[in-house]
Amino acid sequence: MKKRVLSALFCSVIGVSMIAGSAVTALAEGVELDVVTTFAGEDSNAKNYQEGIAAYEENSGNTVNDNSATSDETFKTTVVSDFEMDAEPDVLFFFTGADANSFIEAGKVISIEDIRAEYPDYASNMDDAKLPVSLVDGKAYAVPTNGYWEAMFVNTRVLEAAGVEIPGDDYTWEQFLADGAKIKEAGYTPVAAALGNIPHYWWEYSIFNNQTDLAVHTDIEAAAADPSAWIAGMEDVKEMYEAGMFPENTLSATDDETFQLFTQDKAAFLLDGSWKVGGIAGACQSDPEDPSTLDTEELDKYDVTVVPSKGNARKATDLIGGFSMGYYITAKAWEDPEKREAAVDFVNQMTSDDMIVKFAQHSANPLKEAPEADTSGMNGLQEKAIAFGARVTSYTGAAQDNFQGECRVPTFDGMPSIVTGEVSAEDAVAEGFEIYAEITAE
């Protein structure tokens, strides 16, 4: 008898819990979206992104499983191997250059064109001419949020001490070398750069400066057929090295060390990206994490300006820049009837006009009609960067985004050997293109 009562009780408990369980399931609305982005860690938009997710979840009733991580080589590898193992997220914010080739070739992300066939409003606020296109098929897959530019930051205190003017929009290569000599004579380092560690920026501009047609700058096949601009570019960096434009220890220093020369009033110029605005401001804060500790007087010594031109096709105000990252919707989410709309809504909301203005800050934005940027919370250097942006005449993508992995080695990691004359610029460039041909033939 006792056993019967107990078993009846047990059955009813199970029955009640099953009913309760199904009620909970029925109550839960919306879908779960797996999202991976680079808005994490010290990314200046990490907070904006989290606020965006919270707003999306509230508006849609959907849940976002956010697996964002800091953008580095490990992150890239994880994303690529997730696609290989069919473990990709539903929405991904990722690079649009050669890094994305493998999963685009495998048909694992959906093009904007295909999405618009079903959702005509998808990314309709974007200027289509600014959408980055894939190297695989020339189609646009990713919806960008904010752009970047690479330009020359100046330490005006050093320039003043050396009697050199802040470069204007018609700054030439000859003026730059002459200013460099003047700065050196005054006891300062003209250019803060670690050629043995991060030669990327000078690599890019030195080639860009020697192009006779800016439109072919990112075309690696064209460069392989006629490498003269690349060779001349490497020779220019060598000329700068021989003229003593770089720090004494440029071949053995790290980027952090040479950046310190710039912030400690020992170097005049720093060629870097729009993301460095935050790094420079951070160097002027007593607590790098707390913007309220910013020493505004110290920050005032910096400005941002053009990169000298060699008088070929490029003007000093033509910059390397554009949109190199964006939101992808994966085929996995697209083919899932429950997730398709949620993914489209998510990207639309994260790339709305308001969100783009918030994310773009002082860098370029991809909108058709960009609203006026709100500069109220910005620091002095961000304001200067916005004013500088208005002087820019064109943005061209970086050739290095299409020239990745092994093929970069002879001219990137091999830059010290080129500038010291151990390897000729011609041989180094040829070796890089040989590897590129091998890889593309596979």
Partner 1 sequence: MGANIYKNKKPLVFFLLPAFLFMIIYLYYPFFRNILNSFMKIRQLGTAAKGFNEPWFSNYVKMVTDKNMHTALLNTLIMMLVTLMFQVGTAIVLAVLVDNIGRGSRFFRTVYFFPIVISATALGLLFNLIFLYDKGMINQLLEKLGADGLTDWKAKGIALVTMMFPVVWQYVGFYFVILITGLNNIPEDLYEVASIDGATRWQRVRFITLPLLRNVICTCAVLGVTGALKVFDLPWVMFPKGMPLNSTWLTGTYMYYQTMEAKDVDYGSAIAVAIVVLGIITSKVVNKVFKEADY
Q: Are strands 267-273 and 189-191 parallel, antiparallel or unpaired?
A: parallel
Q: Does 160 bind partner 1 (CB under 8 A)?
A: no
Q: Min. distance of Cβ 252 from partner 1 in angstroms?
A: 4
Q: Restricting to residues 262-281, which ones interact with partner 1 according to CB under 8 A?
A: 264, 266
Least Å distance between CB 83 and partner 1?
8
- Say how many CA atoms lie within 13 Å of 43 toward its Cβ: 19
Tell whether the torsion through CA atoms of 50, 54, 56 and 57 is positive or negative: positive
Taking the least distance from each CB to partner 1, the nearer of 267 and 364 is: 267
Rounded CA separation 206/191 (Å): 14
Q: What residue spans of 243-399 are helical by DSSP H?
A: 255-263, 276-283, 296-299, 331-334, 337-350, 353-360, 380-389
- Single out the residue of 51, 213, 290, 413 in contact with partner 1 (rule: CB under 8 A): 413
Phi, psi of 219 (to 5 degrees): -90, 100
Query: Does 190 interact with partner 1 (rule: CB under 8 A)?
Result: no
Residue among 155 and 309 whose Cβ is closer to partner 1: 155
117 or 409: whose CB is closer to partner 1? 409
**How many residues of this chain interact with partner 1, rule: CB under 8 A?**
33
Distance in Å, CB of 77 to partner 1, minimum: 4
Amino acid at 131: L
Question: Residue 33, SS3?
Answer: strand
Torsion of CA 312, 271, 250, 310, to 10 degrees: 10
When asked if residue 372 is in the footprint of partner 1 (CB under 8 A), the reply is no
Q: Show Cβ contacts of residue 160 under 8 Å, excluding neighbours closer than 6 positions.
A: none
Considering Cα of 42, then 44, then 50, then 56, what sign does the dihedral take? negative
- Residue placing its CB nearer to partner 1 in the complex, 133 or 435: 435
Rounded-to-integer distance, Cα 6 and Cα 14, Å: 12
Binding of partner 1 by 416 (CB under 8 A): yes
Among the listed residues 134, 197, 348, 365, the single contact to partner 1 using CB under 8 A: 197
Q: Which stretch in 162-170, 330-338, 363-371, 417-425 sits in contact with partner 1 by CB under 8 A?
A: 417-425
Q: Which of 175, 349, 417, 424 binds partner 1 (CB under 8 A)?
A: 417
Give the Cα separation of 235 and 40 in Å (integer).
Answer: 39
DSSP string, 142-158: -B-S--EEEEEEEEHHH
Q: Convert residues 224-263 into a mask of x (bound to partner 1 by CB under 8 A) and - (unbound).
A: -----------------------xxx-xxxx--x--xx--
In the block, residue with structure tokens 């200013």: 179
Binding track over 80-119 against partner 1, x by CB under 8 A: xxx-x-----------------x-----------------
Pick from 63, 78, 312, 349 the residue near partner 1 by CB under 8 A: 78
SS3 204: helix
Is there binding between residue 420 and partner 1 (CB under 8 A)? yes
CB closer to partner 1 out of 174 and 413: 413
The site map against partner 1 for 7-46 (x = CB under 8 A) is: ----------------------------------------
Report the distance separating Cα 319 and Cα 305, nearest Å: 10
Tell me whether residue 80 or residue 331 sits nearer to partner 1 (CB atom).
80
Distance between CA 228 and CA 213 in Å, rounded?
12
Q: Which of residues 312-341 bind partner 1 (CB under 8 A)?
A: none
Please give the order of strands across the beta sheet that includes 91-95. 63-66, 32-36, 91-95, 325-329
Instruction: Map the footprint of partner 1 across residues 390-409, applying CB under 8 A.
Output: 404-406, 409
Q: Which residues bind partner 1 (CB under 8 A)?
A: 73, 77-78, 80-82, 84, 102, 196-197, 247-249, 251-254, 257, 260-261, 264, 266, 404-406, 409, 413, 416-417, 420, 422, 439, 442
